[in-house]
Amino acid sequence: MNAFETLGLPARLAISAEEVNSAFREAGKSMHPDAGGDEAEFARLREAHAILASPSRRLRQWLETRGIAVETRGVVDSRVMDLFATVGDVSQRAETIVRRRQETKSALGLALLEQETQQCREEVEGTIATLATAIFKECEEFGHYEAAAAPDGVRACTSVRNLAFLEKWQAGLRALYARLV
């Protein structure tokens, strides 16, 4: 499937979330099963939306439309790996607090954990923001890929992997944050 064609968008990397959402809503008006559309076609539309909403998946799709095979296994940049330790530490602390809160039976016990919980929420928020910045910086490469007559496939595949890790970590931390609230 070509997600760009499915949503009626030009095959470019610099697409805003609003453009993707707007194209999805517009196509969904006629493809949604409640509007007489086919359920399989609407599922295809949802998948196209998911692909283009994710920078890693959008880059992969863009490369594949240009005949560049994307290897998802391989190395990531050291700056991304440097974030792994931070994400792991913050996730471990958050999981510990979540477990302690679940095990606490009294309101007093929960009250005593509140300050530590708040500090952990702030750490998780800060790490989510750090990951968002890293994703933004990685996406700055998109202009170079689009401008090149022949994009550097090796570098672009590394970007796909970098973004996939960053997005996965960000989603995991968001889920942890929700458990801390």
pLDDT tens-digit series, residues 117-136 = 999 999 999 999 999 999 99
pLDDT tens-digit series, residues 14-56 = 999 999 999 999 988 888 787 777 888 899 999 999 999 999 9
Dihedral (CA of 162, 164, 167, 171) sign: negative
Quick check: 173 and 124 in contact, CB under 8 A?
A: yes
Quick check: 45 and 36 in contact, CB under 8 A?
A: no
The per-residue pLDDT for 78 is 93
Question: Would the pLDDT of 149 be above 90?
Answer: no
Encoded amino acid at 123, one letter: E
Phi, psi of 93 (to 5 degrees): -60, -45
Record the tokens describing residue 49, joined without a space. Answer: 């939306």
Among candidate residues 33, 8, 36, the one with its CA nearest the CA of residue 22: 8
Of the pLDDT bands very low, low, confident and very high (cuts 50, 70, 90), residue 92 is very high
The per-residue pLDDT for 29 is 84
What share of the chain in percent tops pLDDT 90?
82
- DSSP single-letter state for residue 152: -
The per-residue pLDDT for 7 is 94
Average of pLDDT values for 138-148? 94
pLDDT tens-digit series, residues 154-167 = 999 999 999 999 99
Among candidate residues 84, 92, 102, 110, the one with its CA nearest the CA of residue 168: 84
Burial class (CB in 10 A: 0-12, 13-18, 19+), 39: exposed
Q: What is the pTM of this model?
A: 0.89
Among candidate residues 33, 55, 53, the one with its CA nearest the CA of residue 43: 33
Quick check: 33 and 39 in contact, CB under 8 A?
A: yes
**Spatial separation of the C-alpha atoms in residues 47 and 28, rounded to whole Å:** 12
Domains of the chain: 3-53 (1.10.287), 78-180 (no CATH)
Phi, psi of 51 (to 5 degrees): -65, -50
Mean pLDDT over each residue of the chain, to the nearest integer: 93
pLDDT tens-digit series, residues 78-88 = 999 999 999 99
Record the tokens describing residue 113, joined without a space. Answer: 């954990």
